[in-house]
């Protein structure tokens, strides 16, 4: 027999539906606004809000793809729309930062949780303190360092500062502490080396944490606007965030064009979340149970 819903469960369901609609509405407004005419977006006095596009058009996307830039691909120069190049740059920055962070943070977190060495507590304290330090405070040293290393106007000048994310080490240390020490000792008795133990024993156990960290890092890298604004100025190396900001004119704003760029920029975030959704929810649940 089906269990009858209580008044509390019904109220929670209604609240969840309302919250879901509130969270989805901005995305809905951006997507529908990207296919509206300028007259339908800007509401004049006495007019009603156009919730649905009366005459959908792809003119905003066509305008977005109008500007062309050159990209070197497999040794040959290829022309493509600037918006596509900006999107590729954003995806490359976020993916590389995600991969490097997940790899280095999982190793560092495992070492801080399960290894014994001099200064371990002090090193972990430094990571915790670094979590409270805004990136804006160290922008000038980062710019100077990138210039001295020859990485000016390079995607690596944004990737590497994001990849050194202290929160990643903190998160993976918390997950690594759940690994039974007896399991690691049994692996060493069986003759497994450090790399094999980490890959075959540790990684499967902390996989939900890696999935959660992957999403956190990808979103953080995608939204790291101040660092991108300071490091990247050329049109060829701009990200989708900088590109959308550059579409705003000095005297007027084409909201349809900006919404088209925002809708295009939302696609990778949605795809990444759908791919890692299972690990993300597992990571949040495990963290909540661990307390």
Q: Residue 224: which region, alpha, beta or left (left: phi > 0; alpha: psi -120 to 50)?
A: beta
Average pLDDT over residues 239-256: 78
Average pLDDT over residues 8-12: 85
DSSP assignment string, 229-280:
HHH--SGGG--HHHHHHHTS-SS---HHHHHHHHHHHHHHHHHHHHHHHHHH
Alpha-carbon torsion 57, 60, 63, 69, what sign?
negative
d(CA 284, CA 208): 8
d(CA 175, CA 205): 8
pLDDT(104) > 80: yes
Q: What tokens were used for 78?
A: 């290829």
- Between 176 and 73, where is the model more confident? 176
Backbone torsions φ then ψ of 253, nearest 5 degrees: -130, 130
Please give the torsion angle defined by the CA atoms of residues 237, 241, 246 and 248, in that order, rounded to the nearest 10 degrees.
170
d(CA 98, CA 213): 8
Which helix (H) or strand (E) is 179 found in, with range? none
pLDDT of amino acid 282:
61
pLDDT tens for each residue of 180-193: 888 888 888 888 88
Query: Nearest CA to 162 among 209, 93, 88?
Result: 93
Average pLDDT over residues 166-181: 87
Query: What percent of the chain is modeled with pLDDT above 70?
Result: 89
What domains sit in the chain, N to C, each tagged with a CATH number?
69-290 (1.10.3720.10)
CB proximity list for 122: less than 8 A, separation 6 or greater? none
Summary mean pLDDT of the chain? 83
d(CA 225, CA 242): 7
- Between 76 and 9, where is the model more confident? 9
SS3 91: helix
pLDDT tens for each residue of 113-122: 888 888 888 9
């Amino acid at each position: 027999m089906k269990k009858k819903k209580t008044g509390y469960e019904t109220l929670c369901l209604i609240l969840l539906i309302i919250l879901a609609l509130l969270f989805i509405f901005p995305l809905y407004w951006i997507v529908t606004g990207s296919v509206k005419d300028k007259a339908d977006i800007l509401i004049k006095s006495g007019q009603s809000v156009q919730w649905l596009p009366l005459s959908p058009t792809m003119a905003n996307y066509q305008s977005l793809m109008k500007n062309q830039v050159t990209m070197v691909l497999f040794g040959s120069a290829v022309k493509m729309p600037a918006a596509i190049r900006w999107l590729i740059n954003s995806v490359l920055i976020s993916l590389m930062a995600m991969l490097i962070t997940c790899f280095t943070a999982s190793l560092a977190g495992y070492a801080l949780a399960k290894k014994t060495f001099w200064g371990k507590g002090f090193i972990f304290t430094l990571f915790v303190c670094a979590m409270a330090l805004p990136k804006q405070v160290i922008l000038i040293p980062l710019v100077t360092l990138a210039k001295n290393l020859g990485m000016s106007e390079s995607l690596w000048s944004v990737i590497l500062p994001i990849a050194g994310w202290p929160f990643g080490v903190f998160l993976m240390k918390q997950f690594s502490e759940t690994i039974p020490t007896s399991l690691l000792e049994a692996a060493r008795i069986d003759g497994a080396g450090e790399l094999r133990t980490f890959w075959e024993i540790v990684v499967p156990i902390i996989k939900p944490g890696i999935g959660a960290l992957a999403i956190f890092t990808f979103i953080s890298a995608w939204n790291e606007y101040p660092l991108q604004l300071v490091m990247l100025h050329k049109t060829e190396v701009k990200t989708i965030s900088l590109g959308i900001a550059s579409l705003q004119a000095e005297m007027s704003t084409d909201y349809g064009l900006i919404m088209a760029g925002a809708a295009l920029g939302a696609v990778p975030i949605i795809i990444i979340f759908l791919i890692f959704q299972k690990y993300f929810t597992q990571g949040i649940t495990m963290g909540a149970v661990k307390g």
